[in-house]
Amino acid sequence: MRCTRITTMVRMTDSVSATPTAWTNPLRDPRDLRLPRIAGPCSIVIFGVTGDLSRKKLLPAIYDLANRGLLPPSFGLTGFARRDWTEDHFRDFVREHVQQHCRTPFRESTWKQLAKGIRFVQGTFDDSAAFARLSDTVAELDRDRGTRGNHAFYMSVPPRAFPVVARQLADCGLARSSEGAWRRVIIEKPFGHDLASAKELDRVVSEVFDPSSVFRIDHYLGKETVQNMLALRFANAMYEPIWNANYVDHVQITMAEDIGVAGRAGYYDGIGAARDIIQNHLLQLLALTAMEEPVSFTASDLTAEKTKILSAVRLPKDLAAHTARGQYAAGWQGSHDVVGYLEEKGIDPASTTETYAAIRLDIDTRRWAGVPFYLRTGKRLGKRVTEIAVVFKRAPHLPFESTATRELGKNAIVIRVQPDEGVTIRFGSKVPGGTAMEVRDVSMDFSYGRSFTESSPEAYERLILDVLLGDPPLFPTTREVELSWQILDPIEEFWSTLGQPQPYRAGTWGPTEADEMLARDGRHWRMP
């Protein structure tokens, strides 16, 4: 009896040991939330590596990721540009701008490790020989650095260059990946200048790359506060019950800049504030503010809810009454005189491009029926700020004398996206002292900087890491881009018939017709 039992145990042991178990990396276990997700062996190729975006954002973000231990030790960085540089020249260029703009402390040990994987390819986008050299460089990284065929291509170039670069990558074989490896392409906004151009661009890129490998960058979606909006709504029980038309009067989404066009005149003139900001940034913020609770925070579930909202957006019937545009004129800002838009270097003196845009949108769903969403953006405004203000209805019955509440406004939840990241809740409170009841607005404020010991990473850090991990929840899909253009195209077509935008003095908060737009609805713009 005992011998039989032992024999059975031996057989069970042999059976277990004969079954191979797949090894799993504990650093990538989704159940362990204590550990950060670290990118596997890979490299990134940046086209337009000498441009402003690359110098100020992309290169510092890559260094900061490496400094935080989120990139593999063998990570490769390849720059593609027209300049006649050696690799040493390019390394000096990267080091200079990393030191100027990096968020984390500059460490020589981190830099030496990163510098070993830095390569440079000189050439133009129409030069097939340059892309052949790029292919050889990528193969060298696979061989010497162990990147295993995993490569991302960042198009930090003008939109007109996207198709050219995509076809060159296809012709030299870089768009194709071997089994078990990946190729991904990152495209900067704007993705087209209208619906037709967006569809054509998508067709060209889709011929080269699989749609699941195309990442359209909207850097606003990488900001911590935008992600915190989802936590604010769905991780707390107090907000979601009142986040609807029963309680909300209207929503204001503002993105204001205090600078002019600076060195972007060539890009900006002809594009304008609406195409530059509203089509991508503000409509994405609107979708995240208005969407229903997703099943999970995976890319497919988030996209499904955002798409529902964007497809339910309705334009006002009277575009003249519910849209506004303007151009900044000369004025006083930041303690010095500034010139108007038409006097900026590189701007056509007869340009009709708007530097300020404001529109009203309605969302045709049960949750938001009758609640207008006001979107505005502009340059040379009072200060740099981006915020989402959910403004609530007045209380239906106030057991107070009218004189007691004359300084009481509407309750509001304000999500500050930048620069002072946080959330403000505005409500009424009794003024202390006195014999009569007097109520005024007060604010309860949450700030990231005061509540957490960790500083928020740059948006590009999060987005670049997500690309390398193959995690796309924060990236707009083709359908979202098309729906956004469907919303904006009729407004742009209407504006094209109006001639010159209304001027507004630099340092103010936009043209008077924007104030009149809200006044028609019995509302006013809040002061950020």
Distance of alpha carbon 146 from its chain centroid, rounded? 31
Task: Report pLDDT for 39.
Answer: 81
Q: Any idea which of 48-57, 139-148, 212-221 has the lowest mean pLDDT?
A: 212-221
Pairing of β 313-314 and β 356-363:
antiparallel
Residues 323 and 517: beta-carbon distance below 8 Å: yes
Quick one: how many helices (H) and strands (E) in the chain? 18, 18
In this prediction, residue 16 has a pLDDT band, given cuts at 50, 70 and 90, of very low
Distance CA 59, CA 57 (A): 6
- Please tell me what DSSP assigns to residue 402: G
Q: Read off the pLDDT of each residue in 229-254 and give the average, rounded to a whole number.
A: 92
SS3 per-residue string spanning 238-271: CCHHHCCCCCEEEEEEEEECCCCCCCCHHHHCCC
Tens digits of per-residue pLDDT, 188-237? 877 778 888 888 888 888 888 887 788 888 777 877 777 788 888 998 99
Distance CA 327, CA 356 (A): 6
How many other C-beta atoms are found inside a 10 Å radius of the C-beta of residue 169? 24
Those residues with Cβ within 8 angstroms of residue 140's Cβ, 6 or more apart along the chain or in another chain: 119
Nearest to 303 by CA among 493, 481, 103: 481
Distance CA 473, CA 480 (A): 13
Q: Read off the pLDDT of each residue in 461-467 and give the average, rounded to a whole number.
A: 88
Percent of the chain with pLDDT over 70: 90
Distance CA 200, CA 210 (A): 16
Q: Cis peptide before 190, with omega less than 30 degrees from 0?
A: yes
Task: Report pLDDT for 326.
Answer: 94
Which residue intervals of 258-315 are DSSP H helices?
Answer: 265-268, 272-273, 283-290, 299-312
Distance CA 471, CA 215 (A): 10
Task: Report pLDDT for 466.
Answer: 87
Distance CA 121, CA 161 (A): 17
Distance CA 277, CA 322 (A): 18
- The whole-model pTM stands at 0.85
Tell me the two tokens of residue 72: 């593999």
Q: Which residues are catalytic?
A: 281
Which stretches of 352-476 are assigned E, i.e. beta strand?
356-363, 372-378, 385-392, 412-418, 422-430, 439-447
Distance CA 55, CA 44 (A): 15
380 pLDDT above the threshold of 90: yes
How many other C-beta atoms are found inside a 10 Å radius of the C-beta of residue 408? 18
Instruction: Look at the alpha carbons of 36, 42, 48, 51 in this order and tell me if their dihedral is positive or negative.
Output: positive
In this prediction, residue 285 has a pLDDT band, given cuts at 50, 70 and 90, of very high
Let me know the angle formed at the C-alpha of 178 by 477 and 146, rounded to the nearest 5 degrees: 100
Q: Read off the pLDDT of each residue in 313-320 and give the average, rounded to a whole number.
A: 94
270 pLDDT above the threshold of 50: yes
Instruction: Look at the alpha carbons of 69, 70, 73, 78 in this order and tell me if their dihedral is positive or negative.
Output: negative
Distance CA 244, CA 184 (A): 39
387 pLDDT above the threshold of 90: yes
Place of tokens 């519910």: 322
Task: Report pLDDT for 254.
Answer: 96
Q: Any idea which of 228-237, 270-279, 358-367, 433-442 has the lowest mean pLDDT?
A: 433-442
Place of tokens 């969403």: 373
Percent of the chain with pLDDT over 90: 43
Distance CA 409, CA 431 (A): 14
Task: Report pLDDT for 15.
Answer: 43
Task: Report pLDDT for 7.
Answer: 46
How many other C-beta atoms are found inside a 10 Å radius of the C-beta of residue 352? 16
Place of tokens 């071997």: 178
Task: Report pLDDT for 10.
Answer: 42
The count of C-alpha atoms lying within 13 angstroms of the C-alpha of 362, restricted to the half-sphere facing its C-beta, is 14
In this prediction, residue 19 has a pLDDT band, given cuts at 50, 70 and 90, of very low
Those residues with Cβ within 8 angstroms of residue 187's Cβ, 6 or more apart along the chain or in another chain: 155, 162, 205, 214, 215, 216, 217
Looking at every residue in the chain, the average pLDDT score rounds to: 85
Place of tokens 């969407």: 291
Q: Read off the pLDDT of each residue in 446-454 and give the average, rounded to a whole number.
A: 78
Nearest to 103 by CA among 432, 459, 444, 477: 459
Distance CA 310, CA 376 (A): 17
Distance CA 56, CA 98 (A): 8
Q: Any idea which of 43-52, 160-169, 507-516 has the lowest mean pLDDT?
A: 160-169
Instruction: Indicate the helix (H) or strand (E) that contains 186.
Output: strand 183-188
Exposure string of 107-140, with b = 16+ CB inside 10 Å and e = fewer, is eeebbebbeebbbbbbbebeeeebbbbbbebbee
Amino acid making up residue 110: T
Q: Is 120 helix (H, G, I), strand (E, B) or coil?
A: strand
342 pLDDT above the threshold of 70: yes
Q: Give strand pairing partners of 387.
A: 254, 416
Nearest to 274 by CA among 525, 1, 495: 495
Ramachandran assignment for 173, one of left (phi > 0), alpha (psi -120 to 50 degrees), beta (any other): left
DSSP string, 66-81: HHTT-S-TT-EEEEEE
Domains identified in the chain and CATH numbers: 37-188 (3.40.50.720), 221-457+476-519 (3.30.360.10)
Q: Read off the pLDDT of each residue in 394-401 and give the average, rounded to a whole number.
A: 71
In this prediction, residue 31 has a pLDDT band, given cuts at 50, 70 and 90, of low
Strands, sheet with 43-47, edge to edge from the N-terminal-most edge strand:
118-122, 76-81, 43-47, 151-155, 183-188, 214-217
